[in-house]
Amino acid sequence: MKIEKIELRHIKMELVSPFTTSMGTEYDEEHIIVRVDGEGSTGWGESVAEGTPFYSYETVTTAWHILQDFLIPSILGKDISGIDKAIASYEKVRGHMMAKAGLEAALWDLFAKSENISLSKMLGGTRDKIDVGVSIGIQSSVAELIKKVEGYLAEGYKRIKIKISPGNDIQFVQALRKEFPNILLQVDANSAYELKHIGLFKQMDDYNLLLIEQPLGYEDIYDHSKLQRELKTPICLDESIHSLDDTRAAIELDSCRVINIKPGRVGGFTESKLIHDYCASKKIPVWHGGMLESGIGRAGNVALASLPNFTLPGDISASKRYYKQDIVEPEFIVNKDGTMDVPTLLGIGVEVNMGMLEKVTVKRKVFTWRSRTTS
């Protein structure tokens, strides 16, 4: 596959409602859309680095720099026989997983289209529908939270995740359990706690939570093993897992019993598949996390979540849960039974709405093989 042209777009999309976590409140989401053209086909990917370095050290600006100055020059104008060859061409670049994952996603779409198969098929997916959940930000009151949860359950969502932070935690869990004794419920702390809060997590052990996501340090694996030892509820790691090696360390140390896979956090679908397969071999369930993606990133997430060991409902919700209008057609919807259909058309299986994409683009740059850079 001759890589002829690559385009980056910095996009900014307004969320339908502010999203509050222990990291702060987001009103809109900034990401990078990557377009790769070669031999008459077009591939699309999304880099989930955000406007702020609060979830990850990466930002739209660092990802743009790494893409423009290192990743794109390593493949532009080259004839690449497979995605593994593209990855090998930039293997000297350390870290910057979100930058890498955005480019890799576009390449997967491009190769799937040129091979006339869906991305799900190409990744090894085995499902035509996936179970989906919803991630709810910290609410101003218990009543507000209950109202939100009721609404999402009525839409069919199979699992509720609530964000927690010190002072906004056990009271929400207790209230939800009282109101909804049987729902699949989990919490996500985004690294807001320390080992000294162990008493709080022991209290949470009484509420039949599916899992507790990333309670401790964002790079930590060791302290999580000390916490997991004291709890019945499985810990699930998100922020701490950047690679198969991190996954192996976390599982060997019993730091967690569930893994959240986000391709953006681990450098792409290739590493995600390695983590998925390793977890399957260790009987560790995985689920697909989310980064408030547009439909372009979401399409890739849905395809990846169709692999067999994604046995828990993911943070993959309907387009309208995030944005008034998505940048793909058709938009992603949740079926009444809490599933989402896995696209079956070629590649990511949805069309990019160019008018909408144009509207949300704040910066665009095209890289061509002859001129190296233009516009």
Q: Binding to ligand OSB by residue 188, rule CB under 6 A?
A: yes
Selection from Mg ion, ligand OSB, none that 55 binds (CB < 5 to 8 A by kind) is: ligand OSB
CA-CA distance, 64 to 46, in Å (whole number)? 12
Q: DSSP letter at 52?
A: S
Q: What are phi and psi of 119, to 5 degrees?
A: -60, -40
Q: Binding to ligand OSB by residue 315, rule CB under 6 A?
A: yes
Residues in CB range of 39: below 8 A, 6 or more apart: 1, 2, 4, 114
Residues 246-305 that bind ligand OSB (CB under 6 A): 289-292
Residues in CB range of 364: below 8 A, 6 or more apart: 7, 8, 9, 10, 375
Residues in CB range of 203: below 8 A, 6 or more apart: 170
Find the catalytic residue in 262, 273, 336, 359.
Answer: 262
CA-CA distance, 49 to 29, in Å (whole number)? 10
CA-CA distance, 68 to 169, in Å (whole number)? 41
Instruction: Closer to ligand OSB by CB, 72 or 211: give it.
Output: 211
| Minimum separation from the CB atom of position 189 to ligand OSB (A) | 9
Judge whether 129 counts as a catalytic residue. Answer: no
Helix or strand (DSSP H, E) at 184: strand 184-188
Q: Pairing mode, if any, of strands 129-131 and 134-136? A: unpaired
Selection from Mg ion, ligand OSB, none that 47 binds (CB < 5 to 8 A by kind) is: none
C-beta nearest to Mg ion: residue: 238
Site pattern 118..157 for ligand OSB (x: CB under 6 A): -----------------x----------------------
Selection from Mg ion, ligand OSB, none that 291 binds (CB < 5 to 8 A by kind) is: ligand OSB
CA-CA distance, 186 to 231, in Å (whole number)? 14
Selection from Mg ion, ligand OSB, none that 251 binds (CB < 5 to 8 A by kind) is: none
CA-CA distance, 4 to 367, in Å (whole number)? 9
Q: Residue for token digits 């209230």?
A: 175
Q: Binding to Mg ion by residue 104, rule CB under 5 A?
A: no
Find the catalytic residue in 12, 163, 226, 232.
Answer: 163
Q: Binding to Mg ion by residue 109, rule CB under 5 A?
A: no
Q: Binding to ligand OSB by residue 238, rule CB under 6 A?
A: yes
Residues 213-232 that bind Mg ion (CB under 5 A): 213
Judge whether 262 counts as a catalytic residue. Answer: yes
Q: Which amino acid is at 73?
A: P
Site pattern 70..109 for ligand OSB (x: CB under 6 A): ----------------------------------------
Q: Binding to ligand OSB by residue 317, rule CB under 6 A?
A: yes
Instruction: Closer to ligand OSB by CB, 122 or 327: give it.
Output: 327
Instruction: Closer to ligand OSB by CB, 80 or 266: give it.
Output: 266
- Whether the CA torsion 280, 48, 106, 342 is positive or negative: it is positive
Q: Which of 188, 220, 246, 326 is close enough to bind Mg ion by CB under 5 A?
A: 188
For residue 323, the SS3 value is strand
| Minimum separation from the CB atom of position 235 to Mg ion (A) | 12
Q: Are 279 and 98 in contact (CB under 8 A)?
A: no
Residue 7: strand pairing partners? 35, 366
Indicate which residues carry an active-site annotation. 163, 262
Q: Which residues bind Mg ion (CB under 5 A)?
A: 188, 213, 238
